[in-house]
Amino acid sequence: MRFRHSPEIWSAFPELTCGVLHATGITPAADVTPRLTRYADTARARLAGGTEGGFPEIQAWRRAFARTGSPPTRYRCAAESLLRRFRRDGALPRLHPLVDLGNALSLGYAVPVAVLDLARIAGDLTVRPALGTETYLTLGGDEEHPEPGEPIFADAAGRAHSRRWTHRQSGASAVRAETAEVLVVIEAMHEDGPRVVPRMLTELAGALAEEWGVPARTALLTAGAPEFAAPATRTA
């Protein structure tokens, strides 16, 4: 399985910084509560100084959404949605330890983090403009078709594993109790992204080693090195 952004994406968004992590041996048994608390405390302290709409990380994604034709205050990147919910409710719902950790990492850094079950992705996964023929499964189980041109995570079977790039993930590849192999994608658009994304990868890989006892393979993708190849540990 290979993950990449299409040349059209890199050409239109040269400011993109993308970090990718692959791991196997994931279970729902890990206790990540102390880590969640630390990231939540970071977000809470930052939100005390102003709402998430003023964060450079969020402003950069709003500009990117506007350039793709998605009104940025109608369609928000996942990190902005998490921050809004956290500001309103004071906490995020618990779903699965790795999903919770990804959400907390996103919350603490204000950067979108996607956690995908690789067993539910067919072949390679590419971030590219939609054709409009792909199918997208909502978390509620409804089927949609992306609008032509909107950035999506598309697999070889024509399934969209996200809508409007980092707006929301698909229920088709959502992590669940039986998930064992995952791909985590971290994408930043702000000026400090090249410094922040490697740090996020390091922290996440460290958490996987300490809480799950599994190694992680990571990579930083660029226009010159745009592809990540996951080890062949499963049948596609």
CATH number, residue 100: 3.50.40.10
137-188 confidence digits (pLDDT tens): 998 999 999 999 999 999 999 999 999 999 999 999 999 999 999 999 999 9
Q: What is the mean pLDDT of residues 16-28?
A: 98
Q: How far, in Å, are 32, 102, 173, 177, 192 from residue 96 at the CA level?
A: 10, 10, 14, 7, 29
Encode pLDDT of 88-141 as tens digits: 999 999 999 999 999 999 999 999 999 999 999 999 999 999 999 999 999 899
Instruction: Identify whether 133 is part of a domain.
Output: yes
Chain-centroid distance of CA 60 in Å reads 16
Counting the structural domains of the chain, the total is 1
Identify which of 14, 2, 8, 1 has the alpha carbon closest to the alpha carbon of residue 222: 14
Structural domain contains residue 47: yes
Q: Which residue has the tokens 């995952």?
A: 182
**Residue 107 resides in a domain:** yes
Q: How confident is the model at residue 236 (pLDDT cuts 50, 70, 90)?
A: very low
Average pLDDT over residues 75-100: 98
pLDDT for 14 beyond 60: yes
Expressed as residue numbers, the domain containing 191 is: 2-226
| 39 is a domain residue | yes
pLDDT-above-90 percentage for the chain: 96
What is the structure's pLDDT at 131? 98
In this predicted structure, what is the pLDDT of residue 231? 85
Asked if the structure places residue 236 within a domain, the reply is no
Answer yes or no: is 231 within a domain: no
For residue 233, is it within any domain?
A: no
Cβ–Cβ under 8 Å, residues 94 and 184: no
Q: Would you say residue 17 lies in a domain?
A: yes
At 207 the pLDDT is 99
The residue-averaged pLDDT of 66-75 equals 94
